[in-house]
Structure 1
Amino acid sequence: MADKMHWLYQPAPAPDQSARHAATARQKQLIKPEGALGRLESIAIDFAGFQGRERPQLEHLSVRVFGADHGIAAQGTSRFPQAVTSVMLNIFCEGGAAINVLSREHNADFAAINLGCVVPVEHPELIDEFIAPSTADFSQSNAAMTQTQLVCALNAGRRQSSNSDCFIGGDMGIGNTASAAAIFAALFDLKVVDITGRGTGIDDEVLARKVELIESALEQHRSALSSPLDILRILGGFEIAALVGAFIANAQRSTPVLVDGFMATAAAAIAGAINPSVKPWLLYAHLSDEFGHKLALECMGVSPMLNFNMRLGEGTGAVLAVSIIRQALNLHNKMFTFSEAGVPIAD
């Protein structure tokens, strides 16, 4: 089985340093005080390194939403039934969800992928990567996935990697905030209560039950949580594993990834732990309003671009950030330099 996952460890190329240096030099020549555009300047420099050119563009955007159900949802950790996962996958294909509206604004290449739902879903536009109706309930002494299922999910994500200018991976799955919280707690040795939030809007009683279930699961599985892949297999979901595979594969193809919220960040944390060479290719779009996301980002040492109190998932926060990136590149590429403006620079 290990030979089917060897690709995970193949190094991603480093961003082009000469292009980064050229872009940095251009930023210093633009008609503004150095650093006056703040984060917009570093975004432009990052994309110069990604694309290997001084003046990068963001023209082609790829958006993929991975959907799957979670066994732990049977413990009542969500306000909504698992049928919602199937309903939302169908709506993605019909073009009626928030992620569809935002993706259309950018003419993104969009698709939804079914990895396994309790309620069957079929649509001609839906990509079928069915593994099982759901993961196993990791709170009941079971690993969420078998080794074979983990491989299938990782490779499903890999197949969605692209040669676009930027990749965004979204998630849909009732019960997935419990899975993501468990991953963060195991990976960063956090207290469960500090990383576990209300997900779909559960009340205090259900939240306390959710925390208790995750704490119990971590204790049951503690001896087996010895590697990032083990953490993913035992505590993760099919859609989170697919995001891990997609993030690693995109970085290996020199395609930058814009990471969305709580679930996507859990996938990014696992991807970076498995293969540290992918980390420079992962940019964090926004601070989710899901409790625990801020702590997770701090543990990873990364800063999100936006904070709009969003917690929808689907990739929505990441697609929203594309507008900011495009403006950063427009400023970088189209502003006059001091020389072009005829403005002398004091020695």
Structure 2
Amino acid sequence: MLREIDRNREGERKLHEVIKRIEPFDEGAAELARRHSDNLTKPPGSLGKLEEIAAQLAGMTGELWPELSRRAVIVMAGDHGVCEEGVSAFPPSVTPQMVLNFLNGGAAVNVLARQAGADVICVDIGVAAELEHPGLEPRKIVFGTRNMAKEPAMTREEAVAAINVGIAIAEEQYTRGVRMFATGEMGIGNTTASAALASVLAGLAPEASVGRGTGINEETRQHKVMVVKRAIDVNRPNPKDPIDVLAKVGGAEIAGLVGVILGAAALRCPVVIDGFISSAAALVASKLSPMAAAYMIASHLSNEQGHRKLMDVLGLPPVLHLDMRLGEGTGAVLAFHLIDASLRLMREMATFDSAGVSRG
């Protein structure tokens, strides 16, 4: 028992050490970027969000025009015991099948990542199957979570361990030269866990946080609402303790993404948030470290009910509105192109002085 307590303390100590390393957003660098933008040959503010993205990147990294050509989308994969309740249109067996699809380069995120020049790092953090592949990052913390409608999805130790896996992945990729991250996930049932997290941590009613996920009908959605309510009633997660909430009604892959976000922020690297599930992870990360939110860029507004409300709570305006609800990191990878455009405009456009153009 004492050894288990020591392991718990050690895991949380490591986590809080990383949180302490997250520095405030560099307002001075962001203001320099805005001034440069205002001196380019265009009316001030006329490039809209592209100008603000450039300022955000400067504030995140402390560099006026950071070099972000090495980028990776971290796809965390895990299964959910709550699937026993019939909350998804797909069976849990799809999770390991899709993981192999990612590893073989055949998923949507692979296609979009190739176009964006990004690596796809696929992590088995909680798949309920034994997986082997030379490209897989095998970091299994749980063999699928438990059914949160009946008991906590994970122990606190498991949730912390999964967060620390995400931090380790971010740090390892950083040593390989990655300077911009995107969050991706795979796990049948994870919109149910994300809805529960949103309900507890963002104060959303389950009726507002629960959407159609993989394409369920309205009858099944209403059943899913009741499952989320039951999970919250059974486990009574403490909204003032994000780790308690994550352990009781979250998922291993969501916890892993919390770690990726915190790890990237501690390294002063931008992290591009994907859809609803990634945003639930972003919410947990922001509760653990409010400063971490300054290192996030919201890629897109998904079609999943509750995503807009979650973005409002996080204070992150999505860049794209494409009616997507796939996950995997697809929306985040698409946003890489706009980030590249933002930086190229700031680096390559002429200033009024260099071009000899009157300011008006």
1:158-205 deviations in Å (ceiling 9; x for gaps): 111143221112000000000000000001222100110010111122
Contact 1:168–1:258 (8 Å) recurs in 2: yes
Contact 1:11–1:278 (8 Å) recurs in 2: no
**Segment drifting more, 201-210 vs 82-91:** 201-210
Aligned residues: 345
TM-score (norm 1): 0.96
The whole-number CA distance in structure 2 between the counterparts of 1:11 and 1:272 is 14
- Residue 2 (structure 1) shift: 2.9
Alignment pair present for 1:240 and 2:254: yes
**SS of the residue aligned with 1:169?**
strand
The whole-number CA distance in structure 1 between the counterparts of 2:233 and 2:245 is 13
> Which of 333, 340, 343 is matched with 1:319 structurally?
333
Q: In structure 2, do the counterparts of structure 1 residues 4 and 118 end up closer, same or farther at CA, with 3 Å as the change threshold?
A: closer
**SS of the residue aligned with 1:114?**
strand
The whole-number CA distance in structure 1 between the counterparts of 2:237 and 2:183 is 31
The whole-number CA distance in structure 1 between the counterparts of 2:62 and 2:346 is 15
- Residue 149 (structure 1) shift: 1.3
Alignment pair present for 1:193 and 2:202: no
Partner of 1:108: 118
Amino acid at match of 1:145: M
The whole-number CA distance in structure 1 between the counterparts of 2:46 and 2:101 is 42
Contact 2:90–2:188 (8 Å) recurs in 1: yes
1:207-253 deviations in Å (ceiling 9; x for gaps): 11110111122122226454111110101000000000111011001
Contact 2:303–2:325 (8 Å) recurs in 1: yes
- Residue 129 (structure 1) shift: 0.9
> Structure 1 vs Structure 2: percent identity of aligned residues?
38
- Residue 151 (structure 1) shift: 2.3
The whole-number CA distance in structure 2 between the counterparts of 1:222 and 1:79 is 27
**Segment drifting more, 148-157 vs 90-99:** 148-157
> Which of 222, 234, 244 is matched with 1:230 structurally?
244
Alignment pair present for 1:156 and 2:165: yes
Partner of 1:55: 65
1:298-331 deviations in Å (ceiling 9; x for gaps): 1222211001011110100000011011111111
> Which of 281, 288, 296 is matched with 1:274 structurally?
288
The whole-number CA distance in structure 2 between the counterparts of 1:111 and 1:122 is 14
**SS of the residue aligned with 2:320?**
coil
Equivalent residues in 2 for 1:292-311, closer than 5 Å: 292-311=306-325
The whole-number CA distance in structure 1 between the counterparts of 2:157 and 2:97 is 27
Partner of 2:5: none
Equivalent residues in 2 for 1:116-155, closer than 5 Å: 116-140=126-150, 142-155=151-164
TM-score (norm 2): 0.92
**SS of the residue aligned with 1:64?**
strand
> Which of 4, 10, 28 is matched with 1:3 structurally?
10
- Residue 132 (structure 1) shift: 2.4
Q: Which runs of 5+ in 1 are unaligned?
A: none
**SS of the residue aligned with 1:40?**
helix
**Segment drifting more, 118-127 vs 98-107:** 118-127
Q: In structure 2, do the counterparts of structure 1 residues 55 and 225 end up closer, same or farther at CA, with 3 Å as the change threshold?
A: closer
